[in-house]
Every structure is written in structure tokens, then in C-alpha cells.
Amino acid sequence: MTEEDHVTAARSAAQPDPGPPAVPADAGLTTGVLARRLGVSPMTLRSWDRRYGIGPTARTGGGHRRWTAADVATVEEMCRLTATGIPPADAARAARTATAGPPAAAGAATAAPPPAPAGRSRAAGALPLGDVRLECRGLARAAVRLDAPALEQQLIAAVERYGLVAAWQEVMVPTLHAVGRRWASSEDQYVEVEHLLAWHVSTVLRRSTPPAAPAASPGAGCVLLACVPGEQHTLPLEALHAALAGEGVPVRMMGAALPVEALDAAVRRLGPVAVVLWAQESARAAPALARHVAGLRWGMKGTRRGPAVLLGGPGWSRSRPAGVLRPAGLAQAVEALRALHTAG
């Protein structure tokens, strides 16, 4: 090296690392703004930055960190991958590879992400999930991000993998409950999350319902499903409707808040083998209504008969009239109604 080369090298060594490229104060996104856009907490983004190197790479002239378009693309891919249940460390490596970003740490893997492992996880994401299947974590994250395509894909995959009954009990219900708990504890926040999740759950349940088979008599041996007056929660009955249809049991879905007079008329016209009454809240679970339906009779004198009555929903936990059934869950309800249909 010449003397001039030595001087240049010495000056370069003495100068500090310029660090991330400087950007104008109004360029790029702050962590708070990006967190709101993605539907995750700022703490989650900072944790991903600290643990996996998924963070903002630019700074303003005042030293404030900003997320560039490339940074946003990487963290969006990170969110998409973790929503499928892939562990964050694996998702981070794959996200950096997918967006052609440089590895944040020496030896970072560049392989494609492994499939989401089966089993259960206590990781809650943005919602209080507890000990649930990994699919619940992905579903919750997609719901919080209002990611409709991911919601639909994951719900369909759950039904295909576990069957409708298990997917309802072990994936859909825990996630719905988590959203409901967060809504109740956050002063009406997350309403949009619950509505979007419920709509997609309903859509997938209906798509999973096979068409009704033709019958000699329109209501012969059918099961009638109805929410009690004032009750708007229909998803559990939609799940039961889909499960019964899949078993070949004829079923009639009356939907939300069916007035007593309409319920009475439907029972007398159809002559169902069973009536399921759903009540989410105890204030709407009227034992007198259950007794009234159980006492309805039709048919010729000497052969008159009435329906079996099944009570569904937490609203009935405080009251159970004599002579009615109280299944513990969807699987038990399907089994009981299938047996009643076969015997009828």
C-alpha cells in the first residue's frame, strides 16, 4: 500500500459507521402506525425486531426509526406465516427470504418454512386464547388483521383436516370465545373482528352443508332448530344444521329470535321428531317455553305423538325442565338427534 492508501484507510477506520440510511421525518412508517395497520401490538413488532431482526431499517435525521416499504413487506409476510401457525423464528427466516431481504444474523436459514406443526399451543397472539390448537392462534391473528382471505382458507382447511364437528369444537369456538372476551373487556373494541370472524365461520358452515335430500313428506322425521325469542346467536345452530345434514338427518333451520307463535306453528305443521331450542343468555332461557314445546301433540287419535326437546346453549345452565335433553356439546347433540331420527 502507498502512503496515501494508509492515510485513507486510517481516516475510514476513524469514522463511525453511518448506520441505517437517513430518511425524511415524514417518510416511512412509525411502529405504532404499522402496528395498527397490521392488527398487532407495537410490543409484538419490537419483540420481532429484537429476537428475529424483523424491524425498521431507516432513521430520520433526528434518529427516529422508520419502516420502509421493504420492511413492511417483510413484516407482512411474517404476519401471514405466523397466522398459519408457523413458529415465529421459522416465519422470520422465511419472511426475510421471501422478500429478498438480507439475513439479520449470521447463519440465518434460507429454507422454505416447515408446515405448521400439529398439536396445541399456549401462545395467544393478540387474543387471550390459552391452551388451544395451533390453528386457533393462526385464525385469531388473521381475524385481528381483518384478513378475510386467510380466515376463509384456514377455516376450510380446519374442516377438511378435522371434520366439521371437531373443527367447530376445537378451532372455531375457542377463537370466537377469545374474540368475545376481548370485546367484553375492551369497551366495545374488536367488534369489527368478531363480526368478520363470525361471518366467515357462518359462510364456511353453510358451504359445508350438503344439499337436503328429497323426502316423501316435507317434514317427515325432521329436526327443527330454533333460537328462543330474543336470541340472535345462530352460529351454534348453524354448526348443528351442517353436522346433521352431513349425517343425512333432515333438518329445518328457523334461525334467530323465533316468536313463540311461529315456533308453535312450525312444530304443528312439520311434526318433527325433535326440537332444539338455543339460548345464549339465561334471561332468555324460558323453562315454560321448553315445557310447552314438549307438550305439543299431533296426529290421529290413538297415535298422537310429540317432539323430543333438546336444550342448547349456556343460557339453560340454571334451569332444566323435566323431560327434556341437555347435550354437553355438538358431538353429543348430533348423536342424540341421529338416534331420535332413526327411531322415529
Per-residue pLDDT, 132? 56
Residue 252 predicted with pLDDT over 90: yes
109 contacts: CB under 8 Å, gap ≥ 6: 93
Residue 310 predicted with pLDDT over 90: yes
Closest CA to 209 of 159, 282, 158: 159
State the first-to-last Cα distance of the chain, in angstroms, to the nearest integer: 99
| Model confidence, pTM | 0.66
Per-residue pLDDT, 109? 39
Task: Over range 289-315, report the average pLDDT.
Answer: 84
Residues 144, 200: Cα–Cα separation, whole Å: 13
220 contacts: CB under 8 Å, gap ≥ 6: 250, 271
Continuous segment of H or E residues that includes residue 263: helix 260-270
Per-residue pLDDT, 220? 61
The tens digit of pLDDT for each residue in 6-37 reads 444 444 444 444 455 555 545 678 888 888 77
Per-residue pLDDT, 235? 95
263: Cα within 13 Å, side-chain hemisphere: 27
Query: At 72, is the secondary structure helix, strand, or coil?
Result: helix
Per-residue pLDDT, 10? 44
Residue 165 predicted with pLDDT over 90: yes
Q: Which residues pair with 252 in a beta bridge?
A: 224
Please tell me which residue, 291 or 299, carries the higher pLDDT value. Answer: 291
Residue 71 predicted with pLDDT over 70: yes
∠ Cα 244 248 250 (to 5°): 70
Query: Which pLDDT band, with edges at 50, 70 and 90, does 236 fall under?
Result: very high
Per-residue pLDDT, 241? 96
Please tell me which residue, 27 or 2, carries the higher pLDDT value. Answer: 27
Per-residue pLDDT, 301? 67
Instruction: Specify the residue for cell string 334461525.
Output: 255
The tens digit of pLDDT for each residue in 314-330 reads 999 887 788 899 998 99
Per-residue pLDDT, 105? 42
Residues 171, 159: Cα–Cα separation, whole Å: 9
Continuous segment of H or E residues that includes residue 23: strand 22-23
Please state the separation of Cα 40 from the chain's center in Å. 16
Query: Which pLDDT band, with edges at 50, 70 and 90, does 115 fall under?
Result: very low
Per-residue pLDDT, 181? 72
**Cα→Cα distances 119→20, 131, 137, 150, 166, Å:** 41, 10, 12, 20, 14
Contact present, 119 and 104 (Cβ < 8 Å):
no
Average pLDDT for the chain: 79
Residue 247 predicted with pLDDT over 60: yes
The tens digit of pLDDT for each residue in 32-68 reads 888 877 767 788 888 888 888 888 888 877 778 888 8
Task: Over range 108-132, report the average pLDDT.
Answer: 43
Give percent above pLDDT 90 in the chain.
34
Query: Which pLDDT band, with edges at 50, 70 and 90, does 179 fall under?
Result: confident
Torsion sign across C-alpha atoms 196, 198, 201, 207: negative
